[in-house]
Chain A
Amino acid sequence: MAVYIVRRILLMIPLLFGITVISFLVVHLAPGEPTDMMTDLNPKASLEAKERLRALYGLDQPLHVQYWRWLGRLSRLDFGTSFSSDRRPVLEKTLERMPVTIGLNVLSEIFVFSIALPIGILAAVRRGSLFDKISTVGVFFFFSVPTFWLALLAMLLFGVKLGWLPISGLRSFDHDQLGFWGRMADLARHLVLPVVVGSIGGLAGISRFMRSGMLEVIRQDYVRTARAKGVPEGQVIWRHALRNAVLPIITILGLSVPGLIAGSVIFETIFAIPGIGQLMWQAVMARDYPMILGNLVISGVLTLFGNLVADVGYVLADPRISFSGRG
């Protein structure tokens, strides 16, 4: 087991390099220089001043030299300072937003799994029934609907027309004046729309998956045996079929760990949620290059680690996988 983990970590090193190389190359796709942003708006900037600025940032060096220096700074976790008006370090801004995004995604995942699994199981157990047919069509439909549109509609219906739920941000204006429970309730009210709408796509996929996994398990011989032995149907489902049908779900769960980190940009922008996605969008709109680059690298690295966690979890969960044969 430990050997497997060590091997995986070693394999990750070239990938880490790859991430930095690609990110670096993408940045230099831009016609013009990162420092143009600072100098273009200042008509008094002379040619010498521009040159000095470039030298300061090391932009007059050949590309590979620039890359090494950047890599050196990265390894000290120095992602540079944001170009935007607050000039705070990129790392700081990103880290403070991450809990929001991750929290939201985790909540969505919990929501998805708690609803999709029962739907999938029921659909499989009552295969061909009205419930199955309706859920199949429904799932297909939800899969095709663009979530950001659904979010808009939900905002329209629940926020504007019915006025039940707030449509932006995580807190109301008077949030700090409410008592503890008041603040919890406020937070919850703000979270309802984003979590529910954000889960729709996942609901569709996971319930489908659960259904086919369950169907496959029900066909197995050991289920037949249990039924032949006279085990009551409820127990057949619960104790025998379900345990094995859940394994692929764990894989999916693991696969979605990397997705937790990348905030949905569109989502957070619509709902004005202060997460990483919104940060990225703002950075792009403002051409805040250090921020964009830093976010890209950070998210890439985190995804890589997320994959590692997922793989390890997968190996742990399924006893049929041998430790030495993977990777």
Chain B
Amino acid sequence: MAGLVLVAGLAAAAMTAPWIAPHDPTAIDAGIILAGPSAQHLLGTDDLGRDVLSRMIYGARISLAVGFVSVGIAVLIGTTLGACAGFFGGFADAIVMRFVDVMLCFPSTFLILTVIAFIGPSIWNVMFVIGVTGWMGVCRLVRAEFLSLRERDFVVAARALGAGDARLIFRHILPNAMAPVLVAAVLGVAGAILTESGLSFLGLGVQPPTPSWGNILTAGKDNIDVAWWLSFFPGVAITLTMLGYNMLGEGLRDALDPRLGGDE
């Protein structure tokens, strides 16, 4: 799938960043501020004379890191809560679902902004916030899976053989519940990268001099009339990344779910 190629290429670029980036992404050179694309600087320079290409390559690392960690957090929280709700049912279920409902009432952007306002913008806080505000979907998915799997024969059999709750959860139900979670996780990475870019763009995410596609775009907006390349290239990168993960996610969904015999 094309998605896989895109994603793999991006990961490779991110990991080899220190070798392939032509310049130091934080090297300021006041003599060449806002220079257009040239042989020296393939994608131009930003308002402090830093090479855009290098910043974008390092930015890829940041974006991927944020994507994976925040989705990791979200999946962890969501799976735990969803499993409890789905497995134990009754009171635990009611509490968890109310909690999910409340969290879903807040416009996510506002919630993220609020938390960042209170704990300060930094890359770690961004990961934390995106994770903590994005677990609800995973939770519902896991809960639904647990509810249906709980009644299946293999679970009943295991229980009859004397398996305790923990064993049932971890060795029997959970491995079978993860398929939709995987799809949600991949699509979630795309979303997280988008959110991080947006936050950095607003100045509330990754702070300069650490490069992030979003904060390059901030410079782009501020210099929109003189430096089109600052607005253009980071967006291309974000789009390609999102395309990659979206395609990967959709492909995974088609592959993993035999029920969806659609026409796509």
Contact = CB atoms under 8 A, between A and B. Distances in A.
Interface in B167-201: 190, 194, 197-198, 201
B202 A264 contact: no
Given A270-B221, A289-B117, 15 more contacts: A15-B101, A15-B102, A140-B246, A141-B243, A146-B197, A153-B232, A261-B107, A262-B107, A265-B110, A265-B202, A266-B202, A280-B110, A284-B204, A285-B203, A300-B107
Q: Which 10 A-B pairs have the closest CB atoms?
A: A262-B107, A18-B102, A149-B235, A30-B118, A144-B242, A284-B117, A144-B243, A300-B105, A152-B231, A300-B106
Interface of A is mostly: helix
Interface residues of A, number: 55
B106 A19 contact: yes
B220 interface: yes
Nearest to A288: B117
A15 B113 contact: no
Contacts of B105: 15, 18-19, 300-301, 303-304, 307
A159 B190 CA distance: 29
B201 A266 contact: yes
Give the contact-size bracket for chain B: 35 or more
Contacts of A150: 235
A306 to B, nearest CB: 9
B224 interface: yes
Interface of A: 14-15, 18-19, 22-23, 26-27, 29-31, 127, 140-141, 143-146, 148-150, 152-153, 155-156, 160, 212, 215, 258-259, 261-262, 264-266, 269-270, 277, 280-281, 283-285, 287, 289, 292-293, 295-296, 299-301, 303-304, 307
Given A144-B243, A280-B113, A300-B106, A149 B101 contact: no
A284 B116 CA distance: 8
A224 B239 CA distance: 42
Given A19-B105, A144-B190, A304-B105, A292 B117 contact: yes
Contacts of A284: 113-114, 116-117, 204
A160 B107 contact: no
Contacts, number: 132
Given A155-B224, A262-B107, A304-B105, A293 B194 contact: no
A277 to B, nearest CB: 8
A213 B252 CA distance: 22
Interface string B229-264: 001101100110011001100000000000000110
A26 B113 contact: no
9 contacts: A140-B247, A141-B243, A146-B235, A284-B114, A289-B117, A292-B117, A295-B110, A299-B107, A303-B106
